[in-house]
Amino acid sequence: MTRTLVTGSAGRLGRSVVTALADAGHEVIGVDTAPGTPAEAAEVLPADLTDLGEAFEVMSRFRPDAVVHLAAIATPFSRTDAFTYRVNTQLVFNVCEAASRVGTERVVVASSPTVIGYGTEGWAPSYLPIDEEHPAAPWNAYSLSKLVCEQVMATFARSSRTRFAAVRPCFVVPPEEWAGAPTQSGHTILERLDRPELASVSLFNYIDARDAADLVLTLLNRLPELPNGEVFFAGAADALAREPLAELLPRTNPATADHAAGLTGTAPAFSSAKAGRLLGWQAKRSWRTEIGAV
């Protein structure tokens, strides 16, 4: 049985990852200072992983075969910039350092699409849909911290026998939010659909938490055969919008107008084609299937 340690196991993505791994036969160890880790976890330990000593103690106690690192300050501007940057970057370094030192075989690190730089005045995409080759241009402490997370992961991939990868999950929607619970932005999914200006900042990206968890599981299984240090977008196969982005983006994000015409039908602004090509993964769920909206 594979023992997999999940940091941030009580979070909006962490809960689905714990469940998916347990259903696949993993012995899941949850690490989170907040309550809410699913009962499928074999054990849960609250630990401050920004402390390198605690990170080493956690890894030494459980000796996991794999680690899924999701713990972070999860949204921009929810804490001070200095705190967000310090916590997110220290977390990823400590987890990668401790995991590789104790001989963990596989580590998946959560990054973010925000590394691309959308959401600030004057930003324009180099092309659409955006893929992993698109230039990164972080403009706030959160997006910068996530780009650093990727670079830390890549550094360990070059210097360690552990296999590493990073995932950039789009706007994560856990099951309860399809039913009307507030999203991480404070609005409901229906409000984001009815008021396009709410989702336009992130170019209408999203992913069901269970689909993102399935990608994490698939990636863990395939890591040994992949080049070390790969980065993957994880997004739904459509946009979180009632109108085609070719029409909607030029109205809500005028800087995208030059490239939006290439997004036909319900196509999203972010491509997960790399995950499909290298992992055989694609998202199964859509806002249309989950809330029955048309």
Taking CA 252 as the corner, what is the angle to CA 246 and CA 258, rounded to the nearest 5 degrees? 50
Q: How confident is the model at residue 242 (pLDDT cuts 50, 70, 90)?
A: very high
> Within a domain: residue 251?
no
> Within a domain: residue 27?
yes
> Within a domain: residue 11?
yes
Residues for the chain: how many in total?
294
Q: How confident is the model at residue 122 (pLDDT cuts 50, 70, 90)?
A: confident
> Within a domain: residue 260?
no
pLDDT score of 294: 37
Distances (CA, A) of 218 to 21, 72, 84, 235: 10, 22, 29, 15
Give this prediction's pTM.
Answer: 0.97
> Within a domain: residue 213?
yes
Would you put residue 43 in left (φ > 0), alpha (ψ -120 to 50) or beta?
A: beta
Residues 166, 151: contact at Cβ < 8 Å? Answer: no
> Within a domain: residue 168?
yes
> Within a domain: residue 39?
yes
% helix / strand / coil in the chain, to the nearest 5? 40, 15, 45
> Within a domain: residue 102?
yes
pLDDT score of 150: 98
Domain range enclosing 216: 3-174+206-237+270-284
Residues 36, 93: contact at Cβ < 8 Å? Answer: no
Output the domain CATH number for residue 108. 3.40.50.720
| pLDDT(292) > 80 | no
Number of domains in the chain: 1
